[in-house]
Chain A
């Protein structure tokens, strides 16, 4: 482990695996509810309702835990975006994934203890953790307690409007998960990043 760095402390690894399992449960139960049918369902409707509710509430708690822990442990520094030259850095990273990687170029922003995420990764994670997750958590809570929602919003029922935001956000997070898992195969070996998330060492 001489040339390895300890990148992911235990709390991040536990939070991450809990998040991953809850995401899978929420995507499956959410799809099952959205496309429920008399003939075929991924999961029985009532089971999917309970599964989605329990997983959603647990994910919300895990999210609040993440916000606090990230802030107080100092890990939040990795989520801070510098404004100067950041777009150019994102573009360099994007160019690497689109072309450089096939020419066996070296990654433009190698992982260090100070720079855990590359600029594109940082942008994605900030969007996921500080925009999409709050949005899906708040809309999910609204759907869980529909009495708190206004009767009408923008020409439709409040519950319908909030649900639209909820399912569109859920879709974007599902797409994130697919891309995230694929990008994790881009490491020293295909499985190296997955192992890092289990052991903590990169």
Chain B
């Protein structure tokens, strides 16, 4: 029933989006949200305490503190807080039981949704179901573990700046894998030290700055634009040539969104990588290869002719 209600809300919101794009800002800064942000947008909030008969200031629990600027710059900025949270939150003080309410996940709204069909949410879910995040943690793991519902903004598909995409996407992984407190929300296992685990990787700093964790740790398929099938660690890519080769897998993952040019006009192979990085083995130059082959061949040929003439003239 709750799911049906949510879906109806989403459909209504989508209709609103289509019909009211001109005054999107008005929706985004709805008065209802302002009421929530009055407390949840500030580290210190105040309210009138009827028992004490005076205003009281309290510190907001940092985990319930929402960055309103980030909120109004994210994908779901047109949402009212109570689109996802219970209407009962309009009452203050909030009822403690409200914390137990189940939260919607992506498919609750996006399943079969024509407006977001291009994002292939169903296929993303299929990939997620096969990922270790689902198979090892099922119940505790939700979309929101990675995609912060209050700040998630689509990035890889729209951002031309690959370096920003790398930082953005890696920060999603690091929000758990570099934070022992969040990591322990879903497992009692000791959090592995990422730096030590990647000791085998030459030039670790350059790799971490120029590729995303998911390049090696997911199964890349043509089904979705950003791979969601996180592999068990034993299956992560460890062969350098998967990226350092002419048919580099980076072209199917990190650089999938850029216009696919096999060669640019100067002859550099996988040239879309070159705007941000340089991957030896993947960024060889077609014309230089031919030229160097011709020069080396001519040198060897001349040496053979010279040697033969020396032998014959003796």
Q: A residues near B, CB below 8 A? A: 33-38, 41, 45-46, 49-50, 97, 101-104, 146-147, 156-157, 159-160, 163-164, 167-168, 171, 174-175, 178-179, 182, 185-186
Contacts and interface: CB of A to CB of B under 8 A. Distances in A.
Nearest to B309: A102
A95 to B, nearest CB: 14
- Contact-size category for B: 35 or more
A165 to B, nearest CB: 12
Interface string B294-310: 01100110010011011
A163 B241 contact: no
Given A178-B299, A179-B303, A182-B307, A160 B274 contact: yes
B278 A38 contact: no
A179 B299 CA distance: 8
A178 B281 contact: no
B246 interface: yes
Interface of A is mostly: helix
Interface string B142-160: 0000000000000000000
B242 interface: yes
Contact of A157 (B247, B278, B285): B278
Interface in B107-138: none
B93 interface: no
Contacts of B296: 171, 174-175, 178
B292 interface: yes
Given A163-B278, A163-B280, A103 B203 contact: no
Interface in B144-185: none
Interface of B: 202-203, 205-206, 239-242, 244-247, 274-278, 280-281, 283-285, 288, 292, 295-296, 299-300, 303, 306-307, 309-310, 313-314
A35 B303 contact: no
B299 A34 contact: no
B295 A38 contact: no
Contact of B281 (A33, A175, A179): A33
A179 B298 CA distance: 12
A42 to B, nearest CB: 12
Contacts of B205: 147
B313 A102 contact: yes
Contact of A37 (B246, B274, B307): B246
B43 to A, nearest CB: 37
Contacts of A179: 299, 303
A124 to B, nearest CB: 13
Contact of A36 (B203, B277, B280, B309): B280
Contacts of B303: 178-179, 182
The 6 closest A-B pairs by CB, nearest first: A36-B281, A45-B240, A160-B278, A102-B313, A159-B278, A182-B303
B288 A168 contact: yes
Given A157-B276, A160-B283, A182-B303, A36 B245 contact: yes
